[in-house]
Structure 1
Amino acid sequence: QLVAYFVIVWEVPKGAGKIGIINQNTQAGWLPQIGSYKYLLNIIIVALLTFVMYFYLKRSKQGYEIAVVGESERTARYVGINVGKVIVRTMMISGGLCGFAGLLLVGGTDHTITTTIAGGRGFTAVMVAWLAKFNPLVMVLTSLLLVFLSRGASEITTIYGLNHSFGDILTGIILFFIIGSEFFISYRLSFLKQTKKEG
């Protein structure tokens, strides 16, 4: 809602419903571009953040507290962890990372803000985190998998002249079966035979 509000406040020209390229002449607020590679700086920053978050979650006391609270709040309280403090701290870190991702998107590549700038990235991020078992390093590979799926589905719709929504449906079906397979990986089905009672 904040984005929608500021798009209306900053729209150019008034009534256009869009901001356009921000500071196109001065490029103030734009992240520097390395050579002719538009996304290279973003990739480097994301790679560094990935390693930082990996060591934070897997090698630090606070990361251990997050894992314990995520598994069981009652256990966390039993061992003396301040659950409320951990939750608030984690929310602040998550919000900061999301805001920084927005900075990379607006200041690094798009240089504009629209009401659809997120483009379902929040939902995709949840899927990536869950499929990667909350391991930041594995999240990189999972993200690449989803990008390939999305681009491949879009290419199929373009080549065969299909509706644009078909690509999203195809990606959704593939993800559905990937998620469904997690159940059979984590659990084993066993069928119990009923014995007839002797009368």
Structure 2
Amino acid sequence: MTMFVSAIVMASLLVAAEDRDCSYDRTAMMALSQNEFDQNMSGGWRKLADAGCEREAADLIADWRTTHKSRSTTLYWHEGQMRASIGQYDAAIALFEKARKSESEDAGWGWNHYVDGTIAFLRGDKAALLAARTRLSLMPEPEGAKNAIDIHGNPVETVWPLNLDVLDSLISCWGKSYNEAYGCLGASKAD
């Protein structure tokens, strides 16, 4: 009976995957500025990700980076997230390592602690994840963090430390896939 149910679930997932439209206009995507490609929350690579086309989104980010000879840590990070979402943990870890900030860029922000925690989760190292979470939680709020603005100059509400909620989610949902654990704390609050 369980095998039959699993076969039905798998078949429905395959049908759902086949129903997704993961096509895009490569020329138009490559013509976008990095800001338009990466930070437009309803365009660029995100449109593919929102449609459930994480693999295509990851490949598109890699293509855009290569075409534009970009070494953007943000693009490495976002490609890594897409790779982790589809279970390509080794590739995601390599990309996350490239997403680290220099000491001077990260001074006071704790980005690299977030990177450490995420990599620890993907490696299945809970002790390292907990240690990264502790380091991030102890970061004092830098001056100017309350006055954050988005790329359009609009005020952004921030919760300090940045990304602590994501590490908490990875901890709370330990043992699940990255895709499930990344947002499960927020999902459990809604339930």
TM-score, normalization by structure 2: 0.27
TM-score, normalization by structure 1: 0.26
**Structure having greater relative contact order (Cα 8 Å, sep ≥ 6):** 1
